Chains A and B, each alone.
Chain A
Amino acid sequence: MTTGLLIFIALLGGLLLWGILLYNQLVLLKNNTEKAWSNIDVLLKQRHDELPKLVTVCKEHMQYERETLQKVMEARSQVATAMNQGDMAALDSAENQLRIGLGNLFAVAEAYPELKASQSFLQLQARITTLEDSIADRREFYNDAAAINNTRIEQFPDVLIAQALSFRRFRLMGFAANETADVDMAAQFRS
């Protein structure tokens, strides 16, 4: 076997190993993103289970706030439907509705001293607030993972493998306008 042939085989082998490495990395990025999504899924399910308990406790004291409670439950079911359908756009919108609904619920609860003194309410409020914070964190984590995946599959030479083997982009989770807007300090002082 000539030296030239050995070098040719070595170059070919190197190229092949390089391709395998890139492919494995793209698989890793895809799995990371899917895992990041399931991280959110777990918390959404936990919140889905906790919300009816909160509404039940609130119903005992807030007879005149049925509409507020109704909105929370509607948004909860919209979130569940969007999750089941994997519809990210609908999920963004439903999540936004739910956050607004919960914000209203906790604000209205201030007017009901008996409810504010209820141990069950306080526990559920703390639990749901903690879940909301964790969901926000994990949403950011998912967006990081998805953005890395999306960048890699468009970069050269990864794009060659990504297009040949149909690696797909992941949609980022949007932030609601009220989460990204500047804080209106004047309004804060007026209220």
Chain B
Amino acid sequence: MMREPAISNWSHLVHNHGHALLRRGGLMNLAAQWQFIPLWVALCYAIVHWADVPWLLAVAQFNLFFALGLYLRYRLIEDTPTSRLGSGAQGYVELHGRAFLPEGEGYRGHPDLPVTVWLPGYVEDQPFVLDDGKGRCLLYPDAAEILTRPADNHLDWLYAIYPGQTLYVLGEMRTLAGDNGRLSHSVRVSELLARWKRRPEVLLEAYDRNGNGVLDPDEWEQVRRTAGQVAGADAQDERQRPGTHIIDRSATGGRLFLITNIPPDELAGRFRLAFLLHLFVWLGLMAWVQGYS
């Protein structure tokens, strides 16, 4: 039987957690929750009660705003092609994979809770890894909208992302390649020679064939040839090394960067339904105001 973790500062945890969930989920996600309906009904009731019915026109425009935002999100989920991390197609893509802590990091999260890669209110901005089995992508969640639901474990109140959990990500992916062509061959050779020159005793031992204690021109030419071969092999190695895929703040370009542990079909369905509701409320409120006047 699983033991409930001993949490010493419950109120602090719950306050941080709830606040961060609202902040990181974004306004549009809030407008797509069923809890939003009673809130909105109460707002309309208060306006009718304290002000007058025509003021509902202002409320209706917020419904239009939510309807358009939710439709945009629904279409982005439906219309964005899936990139596989093995080949790492660049651009605005959707990714499917599992969350993991970055290499070398053994624990992250609240000390009284299980290991998490993202825990609202505690570990919100540190990057974590998405692995699709063929490749990995580093996600920097500080610029992301993060929608979570409790995992299928005993902590059914905790909205977090755990290691190994399946994620869906939308965002602008780019790859920091091992070799972006930033160094020409001659620059590589120069840097290599400069590094070797810092240890002249090693150079003399390897290339001073006549043992006169200095490198003669022909011996120096041999050093240069070797440096050229080593630089060429290094460049080749770098080209073949897989690059590091990332999605971060600089790559979003103002577009939605979404990380979620909710299946995309379900999320798209939720956004679509909420879009239709807000659209009908927009039209309904305007019809009510028209009828009233």
A residues with CB within 8 A of B: 2-4, 6-7, 10-11, 14, 17-18, 21, 25, 28-29, 31-32, 35-36, 39, 43, 123, 126-127, 130, 133-135, 137-138, 141, 144-145, 148, 152
For the complex, what is the distance from the CA of A137 to the CA of B91, rounded to whole Å?
15
Report the minimum CB–CB distance from B262 to chain A (whole Å). Answer: 21
B89 at the interface (CB under 8 A from A): yes
B190 at the interface (CB under 8 A from A): no
Partner of B79, one of A14, A25, A127, A137: A25
B residues with CB within 8 A of A: 54, 57, 60-61, 64, 68, 71-72, 75, 79-84, 86-93, 236, 240, 282, 286, 289-290, 293
Instruction: Contacts A14-B64, A21-B71, A36-B81 given; indicate if A3 touches B89 (C-beta within 8 A).
Output: no
Question: Could you tell me if B82 and A17 are in contact, using CB atoms closer than 8 angstroms?
Answer: no
Contact residues in B for A145 (Cβ distance below 8 Å): 81
Question: Could you tell me if A148 and B57 are in contact, using CB atoms closer than 8 angstroms?
Answer: no
Report the minimum CB–CB distance from A120 to chain B (whole Å). Answer: 10
Contact residues in B for A25 (Cβ distance below 8 Å): 72, 75, 79
For the complex, what is the distance from the CA of A11 to the CA of B290, rounded to whole Å?
12
Contact residues in A for B72 (Cβ distance below 8 Å): 21, 25
For the complex, what is the distance from the CA of A56 to the CA of B80, rounded to whole Å?
42
Report the minimum CB–CB distance from A154 to chain B (whole Å). Answer: 14
B80 (CB) vs chain A CBs: closest residue: A32
For the complex, what is the distance from the CA of A130 to the CA of B243, rounded to whole Å?
13
B69 (CB) vs chain A CBs: closest residue: A21
Instruction: Contacts A3-B293, A14-B64, A141-B82 given; indicate if A36 touches B91 (C-beta within 8 A).
Output: yes
Partner of A144, one of B54, B81, B88: B81
Contact residues in B for A126 (Cβ distance below 8 Å): 240
Question: Could you tell me if A123 and B290 are in contact, using CB atoms closer than 8 angstroms?
Answer: no
B92 (CB) vs chain A CBs: closest residue: A32
Question: Could you tell me if A10 and B286 are in contact, using CB atoms closer than 8 angstroms?
Answer: yes
The 8 tightest CB contacts between A and B, nearest first, are A137-B87, A144-B81, A35-B91, A134-B87, A3-B293, A141-B89, A145-B81, A39-B89
Question: Could you tell me if A11 and B87 are in contact, using CB atoms closer than 8 angstroms?
Answer: no
B289 (CB) vs chain A CBs: closest residue: A3
For the complex, what is the distance from the CA of A135 to the CA of B83, rounded to whole Å?
12
Contact residues in B for A133 (Cβ distance below 8 Å): 86-87
Question: Could you tell me if B89 and A36 are in contact, using CB atoms closer than 8 angstroms?
Answer: yes
For the complex, what is the distance from the CA of A106 to the CA of B88, rounded to whole Å?
26
B63 (CB) vs chain A CBs: closest residue: A14
B172 (CB) vs chain A CBs: closest residue: A35
For the complex, what is the distance from the CA of A39 to the CA of B175, rounded to whole Å?
12
Report the minimum CB–CB distance from B277 to chain A (whole Å). Answer: 15
Report the minimum CB–CB distance from A19 to chain B (whole Å). Answer: 11
Question: Could you tell me if A32 and B54 are in contact, using CB atoms closer than 8 angstroms?
Answer: no
Question: Could you tell me if B293 and A141 are in contact, using CB atoms closer than 8 angstroms?
Answer: no
